[in-house]
Structure 1
Amino acid sequence: MSDPETCRMKEDDAEPQTDLLEVIELKDIPNFITGKKTSQTEKNLSQKSARRARSTRFLPCAHCEKSFTRKGDLDRHLRVHTGEKPFTCVQCGKSFKLADGLKKHLRCHSGVRSFHCHECGKTFILPSHLKRHMIIHADFKPHLCSLCGKSFSRLDCLKKHQRTHSGARPHVCFECGNAFNSADTLKRHRRIHTGEKPYTCSDCGKSFTQSAHLKQHERVHTGQKPYYCSFCGRSFSTSRNLPAHMKKHRPDA
């Protein structure tokens, strides 16, 4: 007969051995939690993700200390150094480093002003233009002219104003030689020579060289008259009509 104590020892030893077998064979049987067996495709995808994670390296810029994780981001950044502008406007030829820059620029040609100021109703092509305009209503003018004390909400407006004191006109038209105190003024002037009219009325299709002219024209369709006489309340669609009307109330003015 077998020794009872020996039999108990053998039965006790069998329990951890069974557990070990369960651990070893666990990878080959259905998942005991989800009830699903890991497919070969899932294993391959997991291994591919692991290799990608291991192979991820920061892509350094050869011109500066910046680095990127994606080649597309690096390629876009390199245009800062190379000056490359692969995105070109077919209407005016202006080029941009990013596709988003061209997309925003194309709104200038469309004349569509979908961003409205809730304070005065003025409309803008880009949200950045509206944001810049809102400073006017906040009456925040931190940029002070040291010569006359006039203040401005934007630094570029102060610089443009300061040229009125110096008389500087650094922007010259190569077609006719006329000089201007700002690049924007020269750009508008150049349309006289090129015949470009980038601002188009969405109602009738008429085009204009300046956005202000388009806005004034659009009042023909909307009936808007934003200029009011403080004496009688009569309104006008253009600012130039108001002074002439005001003289009827104050002929000596």
Structure 2
Amino acid sequence: MCEICSKEFKTREALRYHRRLHIDSERRFVCNFCGIRFVFKHQLRDHMYVHLNVRDHQCEFCAALFSHPHSLRKHIQYHHGKGRPERKYACTYCNKTFPAPTHLERHVRTHTGEKPFPCGHCELSYSREDKLKEHQLKAHQLMPYVCPVCSAGFRLVKELVTHSFEMHQVHAYDMSRKRITTKD
């Protein structure tokens, strides 16, 4: 059993592999699109399908599309199979249960009103990071993705990827470039 998250494993090898996920210095492979860090290079490669919006793996039961075979397998297991993950993390406010502590943590914020993601441009805060990013894009018109060739700004990664390929015939993205807003 992992002493950090209490997840159980059948072998010591699997546990040793899992423990690396909890050590930040082990996460050496960084996605240039969103900043998520991975322990193994193949995890980053598989993750890139999300940004390229390639969804060519289809569920035979409900026709849902996925970017990676692993995502499809998890979907089938969770929604259509017998292997639904055990929901052992219970909310103390409403007794709903969740399969992972992070899911429970996010849910508890609906009861406590905690909003740990403040906007750096105004006084608003959000309970989820994705909601903060959505606010910043809409309310502050942030253009967080900048073309390294011509400095054009884009709201979405896929817009930058499309632009850089169509205009410059390259797949380009540079995290070190300054974020710009339309107000600058």
Q: TM-score, normalised by structure 1?
A: 0.37
Higher RCO (C-alpha under 8 Å, 6+ residues apart): 2
More helix by share: 1
Q: TM-score, normalised by structure 2?
A: 0.48
